[in-house]
Amino acid sequence: MLTSGPRGTHDITPSEMKNWRRVEKAARDICDLYHYGEIRTPIFEHTELFLRGIGETTDVVQKEMYTFTDRGGRSVTLRPENTAAVVRSYLEQKLYADSQATKLFYIGPMFRYDRPQAGRLRQFHQFGIEAIGPAGPSVDAEIIVLAVRFFESLGLKDLNLMINSVGCPKCRPQYRVVLQEFLQDKKEELCENCQSRFDRNPMRILDCKEEKCNRLSTGAPQMIDCLCEECTEHLAGLRQYLEAAGLTYTLNPRLVRGLDYYTKTAFEIQYPLLGAQSAVCGGGRYDGLIEECGGPSTPGIGFAIGLERVLLAMEKQELLDPFDDVVPVWVIPIGSMSVLPAFSLLNRLRELGIPSDMDHAGRSLKSQMKQANRTQARYVAIIGEDEARTNQVTLKNMSTGEQLLMSADEAINQLKQEMNG
Ligand SMILES: [Zn+2]
Ligand SMILES: [Zn+2]
């Protein structure tokens, strides 16, 4: 117990962090480019927020939340996703006050009590966008373009973009009736999950992963054939903007979102090489959510990208950088007399912005040189007892093998020139 983490968690060690930082930097860079501001909300919220903001009937809320009572007797939940929390913050911090559009992004851990499998952990990480305020399809296209360009900036290829419209509270109720009528006499044959969806959420039957449900719903009427005028125009607009941006996509009528506050645009980006877990980005419009969370009626749209899956995709395409632990300068004290002058020299180097290190364990010259070689040092500054007494340094160029005795000041000047050049 003490030496293994909880099931479904993963330690990201320094050798992996290099690629995590690259992915997170790519996310921050593209959000700067598209004028989205970073927001960092707490990792736990009042449980009520997720009951309202995700929906009490969803699998996430019913089976997957990390909910506990804190010492004050309040029910809190580790966030299973971040849209509800961002909306809560948007309302609480009045982020709408000085702008027509509030464009936000986040990067951070999410928590779901789920069956762990490849690319799916109980603590996982998401990069997400929320654009709150604008109602028109150009912002839908903007965040889809942003997501696609994010993946491309990491070198990922052969992504599939799929879009759909899930309608709105005006046109969806009629569609539900038509869909239920189609499925009525097949109801008993559906999987257990879909039988319970039949009344509360029949659209989700369309994207059930069970083969038999897929077969039974083949030929079912489609939402896109039942859209109201406003939703039809919105979808046509989105398609125009995506085409203007040069994106290729498929219209997938089976791409659905379960809850009432989801409206119009739904989209997903898949990386097919990941197999069953190929969705790397899912998003959609949620024009009813902010009202559901207690705010004024305000449109919004967002997406979330699972970063573990992005890294798996990069691994498949051999895009991950190998770990290299590089330290350009090592300061090497020999004997206890030399440690203090070595420490002072090291401090001066670091103050000049020269990445450098020294051994703190009193190891032999040989093992310190080995360490310097392993980290691709360009120079080592050796301080033996003689050098310590005379405030000098033996500076060794590791590629030529040349070594020179000089004053500490001279060594610093030379390293400064070499490292900046
Ligand atoms: Zn509609
Ligand atoms: Zn099913």
In this predicted structure, the answer to whether residue 117 has a pLDDT above a threshold of 80 is no
Is 0.85 surpassed by the pTM of this model? yes
- Average pLDDT for residues 294-304, to the nearest whole number? 95
* C-alpha of residue 167 to centroid of ligand 1, in Å: 4
- Residue 230 C-alpha to ligand 1 middle, in angstroms? 6
Cα–Cα distance measured from residue 133 to residue 136, given in angstroms and rounded to the nearest whole number: 9
Distance in Å, CA 170 to ligand 1 centroid: 5
Return the pLDDT at 119.
63
Looking at the CA of 210, name the nearest ligand.
2
Tell me the pLDDT band of 152, cut-offs 50, 70 and 90.
very high
171 CA → ligand 1 middle, Å = 4
pLDDT of residue 99: 76
174 CA from centroid of ligand 1 (Å): 10
% of residues, the chain, pLDDT over 90: 83
C-alpha of residue 310 to centroid of ligand 2, in Å? 27
Q: Which bound ligand lies closest to the C-alpha atom of 230?
A: 1
What is the distance in A from the centroid of ligand 1 to the CA of 319? 42
pLDDT digits (tens, 9 = 90+) for 395-413: 999 999 999 999 999 999 9
Q: Has residue 420 got a pLDDT over 90?
A: no
Ligand closest to 232 (CA) is 1
Ligand 1 centroid from CA 227, angstroms: 5
Check pLDDT > 90 for residue 37. yes
What pLDDT does 73 receive?
97
- How far apart are the CA of 109 and the centre of ligand 2, in A? 29
Distance 57 CA to ligand 2 centre (A): 16
Proximal ligand: closest to the CA of 265: 1
Percentage, residues of the chain above pLDDT 70: 99
**What is the distance in A from the centroid of ligand 1 to the CA of 234?**
9
Q: What is the pLDDT of residue 68?
A: 96
* Residue 259 pLDDT > 80: no
pLDDT grade, residue 101 (50/70/90)?
A: confident
Q: Could you report the per-residue pLDDT of 136-149, keeping only the tens digit for each? A: 999 999 999 999 99
- d(CA 179, ligand 2 centre) in Å: 15
Q: What is the mean pLDDT of residues 20-27?
A: 98
256 CA → ligand 1 middle, Å: 14
Task: Return the ligand number nearest the Cα of 198.
Answer: 2
The string of pLDDT tens digits covering residues 170-192 is: 999 999 999 999 999 999 999 99
SS3 annotation, 127-181 = EEEEEECCCCHHHHHHHHHHHHHHHHHCCCCCCEEEEEECCCCCCHHHHHHHHHH
Using the mean position of ligand 2's atoms as its centre, give its distance from the Cα of residue 64 in Å: 19
Query: What distance in angstroms lies between residue 212's CA and the mean position of ligand 2's atoms?
Result: 7
Rg, the chain, Cα only? 28
233 alpha carbon, closest ligand: 1
pLDDT band at 258 (very low <50, low <70, confident <90, very high): low
pLDDT in tens, 339-390: 999 999 999 999 999 999 999 999 999 999 999 999 999 999 999 999 999 9
Model pLDDT for residues 46-85, shown as the tens digit of each residue: 999 999 988 887 888 888 999 999 999 999 999 999 999 9
CB atoms within 5 A of ion ligand 1 belong to 167-168, 170-171, 228, 231
Separation of 359 CA from ligand 1 center, angstroms? 67
The average confidence (pLDDT) of the chain is 94
What per-residue confidence (pLDDT) applies to 260? 72
The band of 421, judged by pLDDT with boundaries at 50, 70 and 90, is low
Cα 226 to middle of ligand 1, angstroms: 8
